[in-house]
Amino acid sequence: MKYSILLTGLLAFGLFTAKAQTPTLQSVTDNGNTTNNFIKINGQNKLQSIDGLELFYDNNGEAIIQNFKRGSTLTYAPMWLGATVLKTNGRMLINNAVDDSNVGLRVNGDVRLSYRGQSYIVNNYVTLGETVSGAATVLGNNAMADRSTSERINFGVTTLDGSNAIVMSNNLGTMFHVKPATTGARAAGDKWFSVGDGTDEVMRLTPNRNMLINTTTDDVNYKLQVNGDVKARKIKVTQTGWADFVFEPDYRMPSLQELERYVKEHKHLPGIPSAGEVAEQGIDLGEMNKKLLQKVEEQMLYIIQQQKEIEGLKKDMKDLKTKLKK
């Protein structure tokens, strides 16, 4: 009986001692936290697997953490990094991008944001994003697409500085917006405009390939439409047909008496639009120049005709004086 109790006690003590002496990760690292061994974490709930998270230091002096499938074909598996913020004090290369020792992030492949209404942002000011509807792309300076409201563009930061935005819409064209600097700060997130509403819009390239300046009304018949004055060093108008037909032998001009009656009745020259027509429809520069030249050429013919009449009268006067002297 004594031997049985003693044996039981020794066995219990041995098991307790063995359990107490089983090393833990804490106890191992307490005795030293460096190793040149390959470290691998695999399986789940103690189920072993040939796949796993591997941590090691290679011959090139690079520290490597990888989730690797070591089956018949060696492949990488997804690895999740969970944190509120991931920080690095060096450069980051993605998908075997080549390091140029300068750029902080290099990606070998496409970069895609997961949701509309999100933007790429450079130091708060420069942005590239898409509206929530997906109907417009926004390139902004202190301007960015709203994250929840469709077609809304907001100010990017709270500042007195001006704002600029290029909005590329799939049905409205490309619009250019300019907001000058102000004496009162605009708050980040405040609404600036909705796509297509014309707020601070200075120019638009329409789907009809027309250019609108200081207007949002597109007349499809005109390539350039400007609401305002235009200053240019030189303008060249290519025109078919000119007013030289006035000098053709069969061209008939109204007499001065007919012209006088017409002007008294209509208050403008024949073939020239009235003030009301110009106010309503505008004028074609090329066509108007042709009409004005036509009137100048007609005037020259009137002057030539009158000069001939004057010369004839002078001759008659001279002949009459000669006769009177006899």
Six token digits for residue 203: 């120019």
- C-beta of residue 180 within 8 angstroms of C-beta of residue 192: no
pLDDT above 90: percentage of residues in the chain: 53
Query: Would you state the pLDDT for residue 21?
Result: 61
Spatial CA neighbour of 162 closest among 147, 140, 145, 136: 140
Per-residue pLDDT of 36-73, as tens digits, reads 777 777 665 555 556 777 787 787 888 888 887 766 67
Query: Would you state the pLDDT for residue 231?
Result: 93
Per-residue pLDDT of 304-323, as tens digits, reads 999 999 999 999 998 888 88
Whether 7 has a pLDDT exceeding 50, the answer reads no
What are the DSSP E strand ranges found in the chain? 39-41, 52-57, 63-70, 74-76, 92-94, 105-107, 119-122, 126-130, 136-141, 143-145, 152-155, 163-169, 173-179, 191-194, 201-205, 211-213, 224-226
pTM exceeding 0.85? no
Residue found under tokens 């190793």 = 35
| Domain map (residue ranges) of the chain | 36-81, 119-226, 243-325
Q: Give the SS3 label for residue 208.
A: coil
| CB-based contacts of 146-151 (< 8 A; 24+ apart in sequence) | 146/117, 146/191, 147/117, 147/118, 148/117, 151/194, 151/195, 151/196
Per-residue pLDDT of 81-132, as tens digits, reads 888 998 888 999 999 899 999 889 899 998 888 888 888 888 778 999 999 9
119-122 and 105-107 beta bridge pairing: unpaired
Six token digits for residue 91: 């450069």
